[in-house]
């Protein structure tokens, strides 16, 4: 069992220290726990552009140092991987890439959380939207995720249909953009995560939805697992259910990372 997607109190909206997440992983019998807090907003002038969303820029080095110290301390008991869940802003991609190059990270998750400058988790953004607006937003989101794969800077793409989080209706809007996105991800040979935190939002369930997972299988997209825990108790949440479902869908392997190297694991 492993879990590559966890947060902790530095981001301002998660509970507990990194050690709490590592200890929870041990309690639950995981062999690998990935620490992957939200990246600071490196492209903003302010040190702490959005308290409650991500850590200050000035805290990033301390975050990595603490995670690496835990990697050493727990060696032999559990594999602690040092990662980041990075925002993907096309206009700042080079800046982010240069920051990450300074650190000996195990992996990077690339996630899109913002569309047209507005946080996707804000319910208000969807209140006035009609069907055409939702379809356009879904397509725009898929295109951004495809672009994040093509940027070639991430090992994993986070929650690739999280746009449904505060607007569950979006999940059922059909568009060829979803298949285009999956083909782009397969061509870029980037891994996507099955993320079980959808259950904590209005959409329920996992990211991505079952229909997307089926098509991902068809295109040969590779997978990993992440709980996206913002509470130590959610570490590893539904790992076994995800494994069963992926086997049922015909997947035979998934992946973890070490020093940016992809490691295949049987499902």
Q: Which residues bind Zn ion (CB under 5 A)?
A: 7, 111, 158
Q: Which SS3 state, helix, strand or coil, does residue 114 take?
A: strand
**Cross-strand partners of 194:** 225
Q: How far is the CB of 207 from Zn ion (least distance, A)?
A: 9
90 phi-psi bin (left φ>0, alpha ψ -120 to 50, beta other): alpha
Between 43 and 217, CB nearer to Zn ion: 43
Q: How far is the CB of 211 from Zn ion (least distance, A)?
A: 21
Alpha helices in the chain (DSSP H): 18-27, 60-73, 93-100, 131-150, 176-187, 210-219, 239-248
Q: How far is the CB of 158 from Zn ion (least distance, A)?
A: 5
Q: How far is the CB of 248 from Zn ion (least distance, A)?
A: 26
Between 140 and 267, CB nearer to Zn ion: 140
What residues have CB less than 8 Å from 257, skipping those under 6 apart? 4, 34, 81, 83, 106, 107, 155, 156, 224, 263
Between 10 and 71, CB nearer to Zn ion: 10
Between 7 and 164, CB nearer to Zn ion: 7
**Residue of minimal Cβ distance to Zn ion:** 111
- Measure the CA–CA gap between 131 and 168, rounded to whole angstroms: 13
Q: How far is the CB of 14 from Zn ion (least distance, A)?
A: 6
Task: Kindly provide the b/e burial profile for residues 112-122, where b requires at least 16 CB atoms within 10 angstroms of the residue's own CB.
Answer: bbbeeeeebee
């Amino acid at each position: 069992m492993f879990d590559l997607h966890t947060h902790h109190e530095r981001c301002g909206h998660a509970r507990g220290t990194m050690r709490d997440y590592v200890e929870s992983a041990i309690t639950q019998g995981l062999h690998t726990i990935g620490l992957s807090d939200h990246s600071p907003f490196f492209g903003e002038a302010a040190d702490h552009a959005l308290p409650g969303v991500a850590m200050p820029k000035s805290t990033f080095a301390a975050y990595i140092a603490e995670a690496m110290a835990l990697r050493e301390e727990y060696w032999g008991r559990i594999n602690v991987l040092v990662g980041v869940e990075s925002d993907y802003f096309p206009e700042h991609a080079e800046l982010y890439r240069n920051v990450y190059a300074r650190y000996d990270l195990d992996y990077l998750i690339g996630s899109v959380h913002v569309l047209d400058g507005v946080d996707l988790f804000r319910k208000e953004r969807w209140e006035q939207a009609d069907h055409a607006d939702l379809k356009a937003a879904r397509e725009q989101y898929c295109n951004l995720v495809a672009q994040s794969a093509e940027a070639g800077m991430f090992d994993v793409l986070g929650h690739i249909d999280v746009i449904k989080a505060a607007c569950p209706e979006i999940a059922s809007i059909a568009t060829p953009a979803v298949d285009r996105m999956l083909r782009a991800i397969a061509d870029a040979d980037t891994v996507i995560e099955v993320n079980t935190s959808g259950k904590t939002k209005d959409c329920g369930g996992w990211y991505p939805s079952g229909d997307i997972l089926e098509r991902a299988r068809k295109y040969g997209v590779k997978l990993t697992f992440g709980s996206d825990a913002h509470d130590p108790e959610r570490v590893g949440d539904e790992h076994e259910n995800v494994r069963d479902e992926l086997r049922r869908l015909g997947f035979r392997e998934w992946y973890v990372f070490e020093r940016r190297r992809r490691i295949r694991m049987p499902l």
